[in-house]
Structure 1
Amino acid sequence: MDWELKQELKKQLKEEQGYYIYPVGTRTRFALVYPNSYFVGMSNLGFHIIYDLLNKRSDTACERVFLPERTKIERYVNTRTPIMSMETQSPLYDFDLLGFAVSFEMDYFNILQLLSMGKVKAKAAERGERDPILVAGGPCPTFNPEPLAAIFDAFIIGEGEVIMPALMDAYQAAKREGLPRNELLQKLAEVPGVYVPSLYEHCYDDEGHLTAIEPLSGAPAAVSRQWVHDLDAYPAHTVVVTDNTEFNFYLIETARGCGRHCRFCMAGYCFRKPRNRSLSVINEEVQEALKYRKRIGLMGAAISDYPEIDALCKDILGEGLSMSVASFRADSVTKELVDSLAESGLKTLTMAPEAGSDRMRAVINKGIEEHHLFHSMDLGLSAGIRNFRLYIMVGLPFEEEEDIDAIIDLAERLKDYMEARGSKGTLTLSVNPFIPKPFTPFQWEPMADRKTVEKRLKRLEKTLRRRKHVVVNIESPKEAYIQGVLSRGDRRVGEALMRAHELGGSKAFKRALKELRLDPAFYLYRKRPESELFPWERLDMGFKKSYLYEELKRAEALKPTIPCFEGCHRCGVC
Structure 2
Amino acid sequence: MNRQDLIDRLQQLHTNESSRITINPHAQQRVAIVYPNTYFVGMSNLGLHIIYEEINAHPSCVCERIFLPEKKELEAYEKTKTHLMSVETQRSMDQFDVVAFDMTFEMDYFNMPLMLRHGRVPVMSCDRTEFDPIVIAGGPCATFNPEPFADFVDACIVGEGEGIITDLLAVIRDGKFEGLERHEILFNLSQLAGVYVPSLYTPLFDENGTFTGYDIAAGVPATVKRHFGALTKAGETVVATDFTEFGAMYIVEVARGCGRHCRFCMAGYCYRVPRVRDLDILKAGVDRAEALGKKVGLMGAAISDYPEIDELVKYIRSKDMRYSCASLRADSLTQEVVDGLADSGQKTITIAPETGSERLRRVINKGISEENLQTAATLSAKSGIQHMRLYIMIGLPTETDEDIEAIVGMAERTQAYMAEVGCKGRLTLSINPFIPKPFTPFQWMGMNHQKEVDRKLQYIKKSLQKNRRIEVLIESPKEAYIQGVLARGDRRLGAVLAACALDRGSKSFKAEMKAAGLDMDEFNYREHDFKEVLPWSILDMGLSENYLEQEWYRSVDEAYTSPCMAGCKRCGVCK
- TM bracket (short chain): over 0.9
Which amino acid is 1:93 matched to? D
Distance in 1 (alpha carbons) for counterparts of 2:89 and 2:21: 10
Instruction: Trace 1:515-526 onto structure 2 (pairs within 5 A).
Output: 515-526=515-526
Once the two structures are superposed, what CA deviation does each residue of 1:196-225 show, in whole Å capped at 9, x if it has no partner?
A: 000012111112222221210121111101
Correspondence for 2:363: 363
User: In the TM superposition, what is the alpha-carbon distance from 1:37 to its structure 2 partner?
Assistant: 1.0
Indicate if the aligned counterparts of 1:259 and 1:563 stay in contact, CA closer than 8 A: yes
Which amino acid is 1:446 matched to? G
Structure 1: gaps (5+ residues): none
Indicate if the aligned counterparts of 1:500 and 1:511 stay in contact, CA closer than 8 A: no
Once the two structures are superposed, what CA deviation does each residue of 1:262-298 show, in whole Å capped at 9, x if it has no partner?
A: 0000000010101111111111221222211211001
Correspondence for 2:549: 549
Correspondence for 1:449: 449
Please state if 1:201 is matched with 2:188: no
Indicate if the aligned counterparts of 1:263 and 1:442 stay in contact, CA closer than 8 A: yes
Match of 1:473, SS state, is strand
Instruction: Trace 1:107-118 onto structure 2 (pairs within 5 A).
Output: 107-118=108-119
Once the two structures are superposed, what CA deviation does each residue of 1:67-115 show, in whole Å capped at 9, x if it has no partner?
A: 1122322222222222110000111111111100011000001112111
Correspondence for 2:291: 291
Correspondence for 1:43: 44
User: In the TM superposition, what is the alpha-carbon distance from 1:252 to its structure 2 partner?
Assistant: 0.6
Correspondence for 1:463: 463
Runs of 4+ in structure 1 displaced over 6 angstroms?
none
Distance in 2 (alpha carbons) for counterparts of 1:322 and 1:24: 36
Match of 2:428, SS state, is strand
Please state if 1:393 is matched with 2:393: yes
Distance in 1 (alpha carbons) for counterparts of 2:52 and 2:559: 43
Correspondence for 2:155: 154
Indicate if the aligned counterparts of 2:513 and 2:520 stay in contact, CA closer than 8 A: yes
Change (3 A) 1:562 1:262: same
Indicate if the aligned counterparts of 2:374 and 2:418 stay in contact, CA closer than 8 A: no
Correspondence for 2:244: 245
Match of 1:134, SS state, is strand
Match of 2:152, SS state, is coil
Indicate if the aligned counterparts of 2:32 and 2:99 stay in contact, CA closer than 8 A: yes
Distance in 2 (alpha carbons) for counterparts of 1:25 and 1:162: 23
Match of 2:336, SS state, is helix
Distance in 2 (alpha carbons) for counterparts of 1:508 and 1:470: 36
RMSD of Structure 2 on Structure 1 (CA): 1.2
Change (3 A) 1:29 1:544: same
Indicate if the aligned counterparts of 2:114 and 2:502 stay in contact, CA closer than 8 A: no
User: In the TM superposition, what is the alpha-carbon distance from 1:465 to its structure 2 partner?
Assistant: 2.5
Distance in 2 (alpha carbons) for counterparts of 1:257 and 1:52: 21
Indicate if the aligned counterparts of 2:111 and 2:501 stay in contact, CA closer than 8 A: no
Correspondence for 1:8: 9
Distance in 2 (alpha carbons) for counterparts of 1:564 and 1:186: 37
Distance in 1 (alpha carbons) for counterparts of 2:570 and 2:481: 33
Indicate if the aligned counterparts of 1:43 and 1:245 stay in contact, CA closer than 8 A: yes
User: In the TM superposition, what is the alpha-carbon distance from 1:27 to its structure 2 partner?
Assistant: 2.4
User: In the TM superposition, what is the alpha-carbon distance from 1:423 to its structure 2 partner?
Assistant: 3.0
Indicate if the aligned counterparts of 1:21 and 1:61 stay in contact, CA closer than 8 A: no
Distance in 1 (alpha carbons) for counterparts of 2:23 and 2:396: 50
Which amino acid is 1:176 matched to? F
Instruction: Trace 1:330-341 onto structure 2 (pairs within 5 A).
Output: 330-341=330-341
Which amino acid is 1:17 matched to? S
Once the two structures are superposed, what CA deviation does each residue of 1:404-437 show, in whole Å capped at 9, x if it has no partner?
A: 1111111111111222234331211111100000
Query: What is the aligned length?
Result: 572
Distance in 2 (alpha carbons) for counterparts of 1:86 and 1:141: 24
Distance in 1 (alpha carbons) for counterparts of 2:465 and 2:91: 50
TM-score by length of structure 2 reads 0.98
| Greater displacement, 475-484 / 1-10 | 1-10
Please state if 1:29 is matched with 2:30: yes
Correspondence for 1:477: 477
Distance in 2 (alpha carbons) for counterparts of 1:413 and 1:30: 54
| Greater displacement, 140-149 / 14-23 | 14-23
Indicate if the aligned counterparts of 2:31 and 2:99 stay in contact, CA closer than 8 A: yes
Instruction: Trace 1:127-276 onto structure 2 (pairs within 5 A).
Output: 127-228=128-229, 230-232=230-232, 234-248=233-247, 249-276=249-276
User: In the TM superposition, what is the alpha-carbon distance from 1:21 to its structure 2 partner?
Assistant: 5.4
User: In the TM superposition, what is the alpha-carbon distance from 1:380 to its structure 2 partner?
Assistant: 0.7
Which amino acid is 1:333 matched to? L
Correspondence for 2:573: 573
Structure 2: gaps (5+ residues): none
Could you tell me the percent identity over the aligned residues?
50
Distance in 2 (alpha carbons) for counterparts of 1:384 and 1:413: 20
Distance in 2 (alpha carbons) for counterparts of 1:306 and 1:23: 37
Match of 2:526, SS state, is coil
Match of 1:530, SS state, is coil
Distance in 2 (alpha carbons) for counterparts of 1:536 and 1:499: 23
Match of 1:444, SS state, is coil
Distance in 2 (alpha carbons) for counterparts of 1:57 and 1:40: 27
Which amino acid is 2:353 matched to? P
Instruction: Trace 1:59-70 onto structure 2 (pairs within 5 A).
Output: 59-70=60-71
Match of 2:546, SS state, is helix
Once the two structures are superposed, what CA deviation does each residue of 1:309-348 show, in whole Å capped at 9, x if it has no partner?
A: 0000001111221111000100111111111111111111
Distance in 2 (alpha carbons) for counterparts of 1:15 and 1:403: 50
Correspondence for 1:351: 351
User: In the TM superposition, what is the alpha-carbon distance from 1:20 to its structure 2 partner?
Assistant: 4.3
Once the two structures are superposed, what CA deviation does each residue of 1:46-79 show, in whole Å capped at 9, x if it has no partner?
A: 1100000000000111001111122322222222
Match of 1:272, SS state, is coil
Which amino acid is 1:135 matched to? I
Please state if 1:535 is matched with 2:568: no
Distance in 2 (alpha carbons) for counterparts of 1:15 and 1:263: 43
| Greater displacement, 186-195 / 77-86 | 77-86
Indicate if the aligned counterparts of 2:377 and 2:423 stay in contact, CA closer than 8 A: no
Indicate if the aligned counterparts of 2:21 and 2:238 stay in contact, CA closer than 8 A: no
Which amino acid is 2:66 matched to? V
Which amino acid is 2:297 matched to? G
Distance in 2 (alpha carbons) for counterparts of 1:545 and 1:528: 17
Indicate if the aligned counterparts of 2:19 and 2:240 stay in contact, CA closer than 8 A: yes
Distance in 2 (alpha carbons) for counterparts of 1:243 and 1:391: 28
Indicate if the aligned counterparts of 1:338 and 1:380 stay in contact, CA closer than 8 A: yes
Once the two structures are superposed, what CA deviation does each residue of 1:476-517 show, in whole Å capped at 9, x if it has no partner?
A: 211100000000001112222222223321111111111111
User: In the TM superposition, what is the alpha-carbon distance from 1:521 to its structure 2 partner?
Assistant: 1.9
Distance in 1 (alpha carbons) for counterparts of 2:358 and 2:153: 43
Indicate if the aligned counterparts of 1:21 and 1:88 stay in contact, CA closer than 8 A: no
Change (3 A) 1:23 1:202: same
Distance in 2 (alpha carbons) for counterparts of 1:285 and 1:368: 31
Distance in 2 (alpha carbons) for counterparts of 1:513 and 1:544: 35
Distance in 2 (alpha carbons) for counterparts of 1:129 and 1:148: 21
